[in-house]
Chains A and B, each alone.
Chain A
Amino acid sequence: MPNIIKNNGVVQDDWQVWRDTESLPDQGKVIVPLALWQAEKAELQALGDVGVFLASDESPKLLGDDIALLPLIAVDFPKFADGRGFSYGRELREQHGFKGELRAIGDFMRDQLFFLKRCGFDAFALENTELEDAIASLADFDEVYQASIDQPTPLFRRR
C-alpha cells in the first residue's frame, strides 16, 4: 500500500482511486469519479466505504446533499497550476459543512501543502516525493493574515 500524508504524518493508505467512469469497482475503500457516483450510487454504496473525487471543473455544488453521505471527498489537480481546487476545499468545509477526509490527488506539489491545508485539505496523495521531507512544507508559516479553515479568525481580529 502506498504512503500518503494525512493529519500531518506519513501513513499507509488503503484507499484506491478508481478513474474508470464506465465499470464499477468490486470492493470498497475506493474513490470514484463524480459521474460514476451519480450514475451508480446505490451499487457503489453497497460496496462499503466509497469516496468521490471532483475533477477541477466539477464544483462541489454538483454533489448536493450527497456530501453528507461521503466519508471522503478528493479533489483532483490535473496540473498544479490549476487552483480551482483551493476554492472547492473552502466551499466544502465552510458552506457545506463537510467533516470527512478531504484529500488532494493528482498533480499538485509539495510547495502547495501549506495553502491546501489552509483550505481544508487534511490528506495529500503526493506522488514521487520524499514524504517525510515534504511534511515540513505544511508548516512553512507560523502565522497568517487571512481567515481560512485552519484559522477562521483573521489576524486583524487577533492582533
Chain B
Amino acid sequence: MYVYDDYDRAIINQRVNQFRDQTQRYLDGKITDEQFLPLRLQNGLYVQRLAPMMRIAIPYGTLSSRQLRKLAQISRDYDKGYGHISTRQNIQLNWPKLEEVPDILAELATVEMHAVQTSGNCIRNVTADQFSGVAADEVEDARPYCEIIRQWSTFHPEFAFLPRKFKIAVCGSKADRAAVMVHDIGLQIVKTAAGETRFKVIVGGGLGRTPVIGSVIHEALEPQHLLSYLEAILRVYNQLGRRDNKFKARIKILVKALGPEAFKEKVEAEWAYLRDGQLTLTDAEIDRAKGFFTRPDYAALDDQDLQAMALESAEFARWLKQNTHAHQQPGYRIVTLSLKPIGIAPGDITAEQMESVADLADQFGFGELRTTHQQNLVLPDVKQTDLLTLWRTLTDLDLASPTVGTMNDMICCPGGDFCSLANAKSIPVAEAIQRRFDDLDYLYDLGPIDLNISGCMNACGHHHIGNIGILGVDKKGQEFYQISLGGSQGLDASIGKILGPSFAQEEIPDVIEKILGAYVDLRQPEEDFVDTFTRVGLDPFKERVYA
C-alpha cells in the first residue's frame, strides 16, 4: 500500500485545519450557504434528506485493516455504527453531524485517510479494478498510476471549480472491472508488442441523464506523458465545457458537440505546451509509486484441487465457485465478501463486521482489503488451504452470500430512503427481487446477470449499463420504475434499451420473472443473458412482459 511521507502528512493535516476554520466561519455566519457548498462538498460532506452524508475517499479501492478498524470506530463514535460502500469504491456515513466533520477528518488523517474531492465539481477520487495487483488476467497493476493521478489531482489549483464533477477510472486487466468506457476519462493499460506499458485514453463516457460510451482519443499514450495529457484534457474541458446548464456540463456533452476528433485536436494543441515539461513523469517517480505496490511475501505454494475441496459441502462449493477468483500467485485465491445478504441495503456494512473483516485481512492475507465498484469487499490474498476456514467465519458474519456475479449481487444506490435527489426508493426494490429469486440453483442457472438499480436519472446505481437496469421515476408524485435491457460495462460497453412503460414498485418482481422466463426460453446453450439480448433484441422481451 501507499504510505504517506512527511509531505503527504503535512498536506492532509493542513486540509483538516483549513476545513475546521471554514466550518467555524460558516457556523459564525461569515460564509454563506452558497459559498460553503463547494467547500463542504470537496470535503465529502453532503446535506441529505435526513441528515448530512459524508463520503470518505478510498483511493482506487485499496484499504488496510488498520484503516478499516478506524472506519469502524468512526462509524460508531460519530454515526450509527455502519457504513455504505458506494459504486465509486468510497465509504459513506449517513448520519454525521456537521460540527463534528472536522473531527472526523482529523481522525481519518491519523490513518492516512481523507474525504478530499469525494464530491463537488472537481476531479473526484480515482477508481480502479478491485483485483489490481492480484488478478490472473492482469496486464499491469493499475494502482501505482492511480496514486500518481491521486496526488496530481489533489488540490489541483486550476481544476477545483470545473463545470461539473469529473471522474477518472483506471483498469490494468484484460477484463474491465472499472467501467472505463463510462467515465469522464477511462484509462486502460495495454502493452505494445515489445511489452512496453501504454494507456488507451477514453474520454467523454458517462451515465446520468445522457448516457454515453466514451471515445478513444489516444490508443497508446506513453506513461511519462500521463499527467501532462490529463492536464491538457482538463484544461480544454475547464475552458470549453458548458456552464449554462448543469445537465449539459459534463465532458461527454463537449466531446459529443465537438466530435472526438476535434476534441482530440484541441487537447493536442494544449498538450503541445505541456508535453515534455516539468509534468513529464520521471522513471524515478514511476518506480517510487510502484515501490509501494510490490508483491507481498507470498508463501511458495502449489495450487490446490478446488474441485476436490468443493466436495466438503454443497454450500461451500457454491461460495467457492461464485465468490472466489483466480489469483496470479499459485496456491492463492481472491475472495469477494458479499455485502448483499437479503434484507440489508446493498453495500451496507456494520462496525462489528468491519472490525471482524479487518481481523480476517490480517489472519488470511497481508492486512489489505479492497472495496469494489459492485459494492462488495475483497480479501485479495487468501491461501487456498484457508478457504474453508474463512468461509465458515464469513458465514457466521453474514458476509458469505454465494451470489457474487449473479442477479442478486445487484448494484443499488441509496435511493429515496436516504438521498435527497432520488425520485423513488431503490433499496426495497432490490430486496423484493432478492426475496423472489432466492433459489440459488435458479440464480446459477441464469448465469451472470448485472442488475443495476438507480433511484433517479443521476444513475448512481449505473442502471444504464446493467444487463437489466431499473430506474426510479416520478409520475405525478408517485414512484414508478422503468426497465432497460441489454446494457453492459466492459470494453464493449453498451447502454441498455428501455423496455416500455414503467411499473409500480410491487409489480417489479413479476416483471423480472417474465424477463428471465423469456431469456430462459430464448437462450442457446451456454449463452449469457446479455448475449441472448444482443441476438434477439428487445421485442421478444417486450411481448412477454406487456402481454
Whether chain B is bound by chain A comes out as yes
Q: Report A's interface with B, CB cutoff 8 A.
A: 59, 80-84, 86-88, 90, 94-95, 109, 111-112, 114-116, 118-119, 140-148, 152-157, 159
Instruction: List 18 other contacts, CB 8 Å, given A94-B273, A116-B157, A144-B11.
Output: A80-B38, A83-B121, A86-B158, A87-B158, A87-B235, A87-B238, A90-B158, A115-B160, A140-B14, A141-B14, A141-B155, A143-B10, A144-B155, A145-B151, A146-B156, A146-B157, A153-B278, A159-B288
| Chain A CB within 8 A of B159 CB | yes
Q: What residues on A are CB-neighbors of B159 within 8 Å? A: 83, 86
Q: Are A81 and B161 in contact (CB under 8 A)?
A: yes
Main secondary structure of the interface of A (DSSP, over half): loop
| Chain A hits for B22, CB < 8 A | 111
* A87→B239 contact, CB < 8 A: yes
Chain B 145-159 interface 0/1 with A at a Cβ cutoff of 8 Å (1 = within): 000100110111111
Q: Which residues of A contact B538 (CB under 8 A)?
A: none
A146–B156 Cα distance when bound, in Å, is: 7
List 29 A-B residue pairs with CB atoms under 8 Å apart, sorted by A's residue number.
A59-B239, A81-B38, A83-B161, A84-B239, A86-B157, A86-B159, A87-B239, A109-B31, A111-B35, A114-B157, A115-B155, A118-B157, A119-B158, A140-B14, A141-B11, A141-B14, A141-B155, A142-B10, A142-B14, A144-B11, A144-B157, A145-B11, A146-B156, A147-B277, A147-B278, A147-B279, A152-B278, A156-B288, A159-B288
Please determine whether B161 and A82 come into contact, CB atoms closer than 8 angstroms: yes
- Residues in B15-57 with C-beta less than 8 Å from chain A: 15, 18, 22, 31, 35, 38-39
List, in ascending order, chain B residues with CB within 8 A of A94's CB. Answer: 273
User: How would residues 278 to 291 of chain B score, 1 for a CB under 8 Å from any chain A CB and 0 otherwise?
Assistant: 11011001001000
CB proximity of A97 to chain B, nearest CB, Å: 12
Q: A154 to B282, alpha carbons, bound, how many Å? A: 11
**Residue B442 at the A interface, CB < 8 A?**
no
Q: How far is the CA of A45 from the CA of B22 in the complex (A)?
A: 43
Kindly state the separation between the CA atoms of A155 and B5 in the bound complex, as whole angstroms: 12
B278 contacts which of A59, A114, A154 (Cβ < 8 Å)? Answer: A154
Determine the chain B residues whose CB is within 8 A of the CB of A141 once the complex forms.
Answer: 11, 14-15, 18, 155
Q: Tell me the B222-245 residues at the A interface (CB within 8 Å).
A: 227, 235, 238-239, 243
A82–B159 Cα distance when bound, in Å, is 11
Q: Is the CB of A157 within 8 A of B243?
A: no
Instruction: Tell me if B10 and A156 are in contact (CB < 8 A).
Output: no
* CB closest chain-A residue, reference B10: A143
- Measured in the bound complex, the distance between the Cα atoms of B12 and A30 in whole Å is 41
A159–B22 Cα gap in the complex (Å)? 30
Give B133 Cβ to nearest chain A Cβ, in Å.
Answer: 21
- A59–B281 Cα gap in the complex (Å)? 29
Q: Do A112 and B161 touch across chains, with their CB atoms under 8 A apart? A: yes
Residue among A86, A115, A146 having the largest count of chain B Cβ atoms under 10 Å: A146
Q: Give the complex CA separation of A88 and B158 in angstroms.
A: 9
Within the complex, which residue of B39, B148, B227 is in contact with A111, where a contact is CB–CB below 8 Å? B39
B546 within 8 A of A: no
Residues from chain B with Cβ under 8 Å of A146 in the complex: 152, 155-157
Which of B142-193 touch A at CB < 8 Å?
A: 148, 151-152, 154-163
Q: B residues within 8 A CB of A145?
A: 11, 151-152, 154-156
Task: Collect the chain A residues with CB atoms within 8 Å of residue B238's CB.
Answer: 83-84, 86-87
Smallest beta-carbon distance B127→chain A, Å: 19
